Structure 1
């Protein structure tokens, strides 16, 4: 699965500076939240993430909060409970149609087209009027062909800062 943002993310150097600053301000507990090493724990009844950890990218669901991974293709994602600081919140998911992989450009276009309407429903403000951003996790040609991966997972985020809590209804 590959990661794509509808708008550009900040350079890696800026993210590294932010992480160093957060570590200096809040201590070692930030590393446990941002760089969890163990598998995430989910509530048996609600499937909500209750303890931060790594999750297979194919198990990320709408409502999950997760942190950035510095890679174009990913297999695991650091997920955290949404009441902890996080980079992204999954707000919608849908499957792309077709048997043949349509190409990276077509997948990206369909993801943008499919993630924009639910962004407005989730946020309370249309994407063009929002100060928030959207991104998506996309199938790669390999995951499409080898794992029948067709899912696009849409996520919302604030640029350059982590969010604590949900952005649902943020209306900004």
Structure 2
């Protein structure tokens, strides 16, 4: 006796694919910001497996009541963390000024470096992603204490979108995070 097939009908697979694609489009229309996580082949370890270095608390920034200087209220102003700022974003919602927390409390991400891109015409998302990724990975070891390829920590870059590029944004912010758990304290010099 043969077992009945558990194969899904092609129409169900197509419907599922369309639903997933719709969710991706909806998520991007709700706020894709050019944030690209960069995977690592290195294994992950729990944050409580080793002590996390501590540093003096970073002052909580004050919220701006209007658009940044040089921007009208209608223009799209990019959000970039400043070096040393930490955010509690839980990876399932958009990062913004409301998610900034002192680094001495539980958080997910920490901005560790910034750099400016050359001006000119918008190079396209793929080229920007490559440039931003390479730049952040090159700076990673100076902050963590070991090269990116040897670390349990991950990094991602926040870089200009086509819209923010058109308004003069050339800034890349490099962010480090621990994929296994949230952390308390800065990851500066964590060494793993």
| TM-score, length of structure 2 as denominator length | 0.61
Alignment of 1:3 onto 2:35: yes
* SS in structure 2 at match of 1:156: strand
Alignment of 1:126 onto 2:147: yes
Task: Determine the structure 1 residue equivalent to 2:113.
Answer: 92
Q: Distance in 2 between matches of 1:59 and 1:4?
A: 14
Which region of structure 1 is more displaced relative to structure 2, 113-122 or 75-84?
75-84
Residue in structure 1 matching 2:60, options 46, 50, 59: 50
* Structure with higher RCO (Cα < 8 A, 6+ apart): 2
Total equivalences in the alignment: 131
Task: Determine the structure 2 residue equivalent to 1:78.
Answer: 99
Task: Determine the structure 1 residue equivalent to 2:5.
Answer: none
Bigger CA radius of gyration: 2
Aligned-pair CA distance for 1:99: 1.5
Aligned-pair CA distance for 1:160: 3.1
* Runs of 5+ consecutive residues of structure 1 not aligned to the other structure: 9-47
**CA deviation digits over 1:29-77, x for unaligned, max 9?**
xxxxxxxxxxxxxxxxxxx4337989985352000001236467x6645
Task: Determine the structure 2 residue equivalent to 1:169.
Answer: 189
Following superposition of structure 1 onto structure 2, how do residues 11-160 of structure 1 map, counting pairs within 5 Å?
A: 48-50=58-60, 58=79, 60-68=81-89, 70=92, 76=97, 78-145=99-166, 147-160=167-180
| TM-score, length of structure 1 as denominator length | 0.67
* Runs of 5+ consecutive residues of structure 2 not aligned to the other structure: 1-32, 41-57, 66-76
Q: Distance in 1 between matches of 2:114 and 2:87?
A: 15
Contact 1:65-1:82 within 8 A present in 2 as well: yes
Contact 1:54-1:76 within 8 A present in 2 as well: no
Q: Distance in 2 between matches of 1:97 and 1:4?
A: 20
- How much is the aligned-residue C-alpha RMSD, in angstroms? 2.7
The structure where strand makes up a greater share of residues is: 1
Q: Distance in 1 between matches of 2:111 and 2:148?
A: 15
Aligned-pair CA distance for 1:117: 1.8
